[in-house]
Structure 1
Amino acid sequence: MLFVFSAPSGTGKTTVVNILLKEVDSVRRVVTATTRQKREGEVEGVDYIFLSVEEFERGIKEGKFLEYAKVYGNYYGTPKDQVLKNEKEGFDSILVIDVQGAKTIKKNYPESVLVFLLPPSMEELTRRLLTRGYKDSNLEERIKTAQWEISCAKHFDYIVVNEFLDETVQALKNIILSARYSTKNFLKDLERCVKDDKIIDYLRRECHWR
């Protein structure tokens, strides 16, 4: 399954997803590729896959991305090979991408689960952005983008307010488990979910309601 998490910059989605990866079985984060410069403390292949513009545009032509977009002047994209590897090895994929990318994923993969994280207030979002060093025109641009992104939240499958971290993580765990145990997804992966061959056989039989 594909779980897509989007949120305005400063909402805390990366922190939330890192906790989910530790506490939820059989999920992996798909590392986003980008052309932006590496920031201090970021690790290649862990935080992002850092590519040149030429490398990224070659990847676009070769169909190596599930989705991609240009945000704040830099390319961002979801590498297709990571998702295919996760699927082959029995892992669900978590994508942390922007609203444009989420729209593309939902269009191409209708069964994906889209989750939008809201900040508790615009004042709190502004405070968080200021602590990250954004100011003046850069801060204003981020706030305007956040306003537009929030207006798009209605198109997501779930909306969660990230006010209290523990509550947010628990809500997202519930969403993942609920999606996994929906009848459609459960039946698609019977051998992993059920160990008894007889039950598997019964579940696969044609049912006629009595």
Structure 2
Amino acid sequence: MTTTPARLTVLAGPTAVGKGTVSADLRARYPRVWLSVSATTRPPRPGEVDGVHYHFVSPEKFDAMIEDGELLEWAVVHGRNRYGTPRGPVEERLAAGEPALLEIDLQGARQVRATMPEARFVFLAPPSWEELERRLVGRGTEDAAERQRRLATARVELAAESEFDHVIVNDDVHRATDELIQVMGLPTR
């Protein structure tokens, strides 16, 4: 159990920095940490499961979620698709005293800071620009045009590092996760 009150942790960083990998490593070690599942208007990638990786919704459903105040934050990412964090599950977890983690982009992190300034904001940074490019190309999930769009967004996102409470360089997944565990105040094992 944590010895500190439940506090939302926001993990953000540029595309391909490893947010999902670090989050998965954290959850493997601390299954009690709840990871929010975002809603998105983009289609699923191969192997992604609705409700597990994302809530895949139509643009019309996403509009309704915005209008009804169901999203804690939302943004158009890479100039194409919308992503957002359903508000209800986050508030339920925190009210129950459970540690909660949001894995979101810079725009979303800024919105959460405006509505929940008490949250803990963590920026996951790449060890270098070249490594970030290598990771994006290596995952093979985007075509050349989409990679260029994502890299342009990443340059902007990297410039916002100073807006965060903590910066963790993802040069090694397990080391980065260890640092996130420490920042979140989770008990060491």
Same fold, judged at TM 0.5 (above): yes
User: Secondary structure of the equivalent of 1:67?
Assistant: strand
Which amino acid letter does the alignment assign opposite residue 129 of structure 2? M
User: In structure 1, what is the equivalent of residue 115 of structure 2?
Assistant: 108
Which of 18-27 and 34-43 deviates more? Answer: 18-27
TM-score, length of structure 2 as denominator length:
0.90
- Greater relative contact order: 1 or 2 (C-alpha under 8 angstroms, separation 6 or more)? 2
Q: Which residue of 1 aligns with 2:148?
A: 140
Partner amino acid for 1:108? T
1:177 to 181, 185, 189: 185
The structure 2 residue matched to 1:33, chosen from 32, 39, 45, is 39
**Counterpart mapping for 1:199-210 below 5 A:** none
Structure 2: unaligned runs, 5 residues or longer: 1-6
Measure the CA separation in 2 of the matches of 1:136 and 1:56. Answer: 28
For the residue of structure 2 that corresponds to 1:46, the secondary structure is coil
- Taking the aligned partners of 1:43 and 1:80, their CA distance within structure 2 comes to 21
> Among residues 15, 20, 31, which one is paired with 1:14 in the alignment?
20
CA deviation vs aligned residue, 1:50-104 (integer Å, no higher than 9, x gap) = 1100001011000000011111311100001111221233212100110011011
Task: Give the SS at the match of 1:37.
Answer: coil
1:154 and 2:165 are equivalent in the alignment: no
Residue-by-residue CA offset, 1:16-73 (whole Å, 9 max, x unaligned): 0011112236420010000100111001111000110000101100000001111131
* Cα distance in 1 between the residues matched to 2:110 and 2:92: 23
- Conserved in 1, the CA contact under 8 Å of 2:8 and 2:94? no
Indicate the structure with greater helix content. 1
Identity %: 39
How well do the aligned residues superpose, as a CA RMSD in angstroms?
1.5
Matched, 1:164 2:172: yes
What code does the residue aligned with 1:143 have? L
Secondary structure in structure 2 of the residue aligned to 1:4: strand
Write the letter of the residue equivalent to 2:34.
Answer: R
Residue of 60, 66, 70 corresponding to 1:60: 66
Any conservation in 2 of the 1:29–1:95 contact (CA below 8 Å)?
yes
Residue 15 of structure 1 deviates from its aligned partner by 0.7
For residue 123 of structure 1, what is the aligned residue in structure 2? Answer: 130
Following TM superposition, the consecutive aligned residue runs of length 4 or more in structure 1 with deviations greater than 3 angstroms are none
Question: 1:80 aligned to 87, 109, 113, which one?
Answer: 87
Tell whether 2:87 aligns with 1:99.
no
Shift in Å, 1:176: 0.4
User: Equivalent residue for 1:50?
Assistant: 56
Taking the aligned partners of 1:45 and 1:138, their CA distance within structure 2 comes to 25
2:77 alignment partner in structure 1? 71
Separation in structure 2 between the aligned mates of residue 90 and residue 97 of structure 1, nearest angstrom: 21
1:137 aligned partner, one-letter code = A
Contact 1:26 1:90 in 2 (8 A): no
Gaps of 5+ in 1: 181-210
> How much does 1:135 deviate?
4.7
**Structure 1 range deviating more: 80-89 or 5-14:** 80-89
Do the aligned partners of 1:24 and 1:173 also contact (CA within 8 Å) in 2? Answer: no
